[in-house]
Structure 1
Amino acid sequence: MPVIPADQSCEIIQLAAVCGGHFLNLFTVPRCRMQHGAAKVTGFRVQSHRLYHHRLPVLTNSLKEVLVSFIAFLNMLDRPVLVGHNIHRFDCPVLARALDEFHLKAEFQLAVSGCLDTLPLARDVLKGHGIPSFRQENLVQTLVGVSYKAHDALEDVRSLQSLYSALSPTPEQVVRHSFTLDSLEKPASKPLPAAKGKGPSKASGQRPLWEHLGQVGKVVEISKVGTIVT
């Protein structure tokens, strides 16, 4: 399925990540006005250049500080796989645009082994199981047996960590639904057939993504909350 780019007006308000017992949870004041519907769903609103969540003030950082802190968090984990639900179509395009703005994309890509979208992964793993909805909240309720506070990035990633464990995908399934930020900018194409008697070609000194994924033991779940210009 081709990538549907996230709306260019989407911005990061909250960025959360978790890996085992380690977590990151940061907020930033959006640089655009929020839609009433987005504020109602997420509980976030901006007043006098301050961010509030359910009427309580929230400590914030600049967007660049949030991104730099996120990369520092990833660097502590020895090139983990970045996992999120529907991140291929929404979260990662928004994240990539923000990283590009502050010239941090290359640094980010050195900090991770790749990205993995649990939405198509869950559809693959649970094919034929009669799951009525593949929304994260429904999958967590069905497979983990718990409900959680959706639209809060930290709760999202904590529940996603449990969901990923419950899915228990095979290495082949993980590879099938993995991607890099660079691949978001390129149209999907069929791989060229390998020449007889030869393995797949690759640049000198460069390992394919599946090799990285096969050797990485750590997974970082990510979630972010976006806002839309009115």
Structure 2
Amino acid sequence: MQHAESQQALVFFDLETTGLGGSCEIVQLAAASGGHSLNLYVVPPCPMQWGASKVTGFRVRRRRLYLRRRLVPTNSLREVLVSFVAFLRMLGRPLVLGHNIRRFDCPLLLRALDGLGLRAEFESAVSGCVDTLPLARELLKGRGLRSFRQTDLVRELLGVDYKAHDALEDVRALQALYGALQPTAELICRQRFTLDAVESKPVDSKEPPGQRPLWENFRQTVADGKEDEATR
């Protein structure tokens, strides 16, 4: 079997949000393809949940967005999505990939696109989506891994740690992880999906199934004194 064809452009993307529930909002959108990258921020229309702020470092004060106490430049959600579509078009209808995106990022992206009337523009700019979580599960099912979260996979396959929960760092790490996984064209085709196959609301957690939201652990730690993935 041959590996996925190199001429198929790939875009790795990730979102950081105000929380993990179905009503959360986008705060950061990042994408990477080869040496090209996109990294944009949004002042969300709702407050950051405490746990999300703890994990990501984002705070909103007086309609300004801060990342680890530093003011970051922001755009409207429409500007961010239009820029994302333009980035995709520049690469000629690429395949969009992300970790656990079918359960979380894509439903949230779909809601935002629909809300601004941009869904058709996005769909015409891509050839499909692939979730690297089930992809990794299939490729690595014989290795006895307990966790398939991205940070653990990067550590296991690449031997490095990185600054997780920053969308740009996440997509760069995923791009390297994908290179190590080397999925076949047949597997990519089998895992490919479109927005039509996505639920309209994200699940309550960005973590893989079976995991509590990260800040629940913080709350329990405070009261008392991502993600250990269950094997299939």
Counterpart pick for 1:155 among 153, 166, 169: 169
Cα distance change of structure 1 residues 185 and 34 upon mapping to structure 2, 3 Å threshold: closer
1:178 is matched by which residue type in structure 2?
A: R
Instruction: Give the structure 1 partner of residue 208 of structure 2.
Output: none
> Structure 2: where are the runs of 5+ without partners?
1-19, 201-232
Give the number of equivalent residue pairs.
Answer: 181
Instruction: Give the structure 1 partner of residue 84 of structure 2.
Output: 70
1:78 is matched by which residue type in structure 2?
A: G
Alignment of 1:127-166 (within 5 A): 127-166=141-180
Q: What secondary structure does 1:179 align onto?
A: coil
Alignment of 1:98-137 (within 5 A): 98-137=112-151
Take 1:87 and 1:72, find their aligned partners in 2: how far apart are those partners?
A: 20
Take 1:8 and 1:83, find their aligned partners in 2: how far apart are those partners?
A: 21
Report the Cα offset of residue 183 of structure 1.
Answer: 1.2
Identity %: 66
Take 2:158 and 2:126, find their aligned partners in 1: how far apart are those partners?
A: 27
Report the Cα offset of residue 184 of structure 1.
Answer: 1.2
Report the Cα offset of residue 7 of structure 1.
Answer: 3.3
Does residue 51 of structure 2 align to residue 12 of structure 1? no
> Structure 1: where are the runs of 5+ without partners?
1-5, 187-230
Report the Cα offset of residue 8 of structure 1.
Answer: 2.9
Take 1:168 and 1:101, find their aligned partners in 2: how far apart are those partners?
A: 36
Counterpart pick for 2:184 among 166, 170, 174: 170
Cα deviations by residue, 1:182-224 (Å, 9 ceiling, x for unpaired)? 11149xxxxxxxxxxxxxxxxxxxxxxxxxxxxxxxxxxxxxx
Cα distance change of structure 1 residues 66 and 144 upon mapping to structure 2, 3 Å threshold: same
- Runs of 4 or more above 6 Å deviation: none
When normalised by structure 1's length, the TM-score is: 0.77
Take 1:20 and 1:82, find their aligned partners in 2: how far apart are those partners?
A: 13
Does residue 108 of structure 2 align to residue 94 of structure 1? yes
Take 1:44 and 1:185, find their aligned partners in 2: how far apart are those partners?
A: 27
Alignment of 1:52-67 (within 5 A): 52-67=66-81
2:28 is matched by which residue type in structure 1?
A: Q
2:92 is matched by which residue type in structure 1?
A: D
1:52 is matched by which residue type in structure 2?
A: Y
Instruction: Give the structure 1 partner of residue 212 of structure 2.
Output: none
Q: What secondary structure does 2:178 align onto?
A: helix
Take 1:185 and 1:164, find their aligned partners in 2: how far apart are those partners?
A: 25
Take 2:74 and 2:159, find their aligned partners in 1: how far apart are those partners?
A: 33
Take 1:127 and 1:176, find their aligned partners in 2: how far apart are those partners?
A: 16
Q: What secondary structure does 1:18 align onto?
A: strand
Structure with the larger RCO, 1 or 2 (CA within 8 Å, 6+ apart): 1
Take 2:184 and 2:95, find their aligned partners in 1: how far apart are those partners?
A: 15
Higher CA-based Rg: 1
1:164 is matched by which residue type in structure 2?
A: Y
